[in-house]
Amino acid sequence: MLLLAVGFQLYRLQGQITEAETNRAQLAAQVAAKQQENAALAKDIENGNDPETLEEIARNELGMVNPGEKVFYDVSN
């Protein structure tokens, strides 16, 4: 009976270890993504006075365009 109880506990612990390893891998991927995002933001801060960087941020983040440019929207969806 004792061997059966110990075997069950070992089986359950193995499942918990596997779940924890999966969770750790997911969290590591999230950390890597956030590190890349932070690096990009740090680069934007460093180049904050660069006209090209300002234009890129204005276009991508704020949706701004230069005077005289034509904007086309895809409304097929």
Model confidence pLDDT, tens digit, residues 21-49: 999 999 999 999 999 999 988 987 887 78
Domain assignment present for residue 57? The answer is: yes
Per-residue pLDDT band at 56 (split at 50, 70, 90):
confident
Domain assignment present for residue 76? The answer is: no
Whether residue 65 has pLDDT greater than 80: yes
Domain assignment present for residue 11? The answer is: no
Interior/surface letters 56-67, b for 16+ CB within 10 angstroms, e for the rest: eeeeeeeeeeee
* Residue 19 pLDDT: 96
Number of domains in the chain: 1
Range of 51's domain?
27-65
Tokens of 11: 């089986």
Q: How many whole angstroms separate alpha carbon 9 and alpha carbon 47? A: 56
pTM strictly above 0.85: no
* Residue 1 pLDDT: 87
Domain assignment present for residue 72? The answer is: no
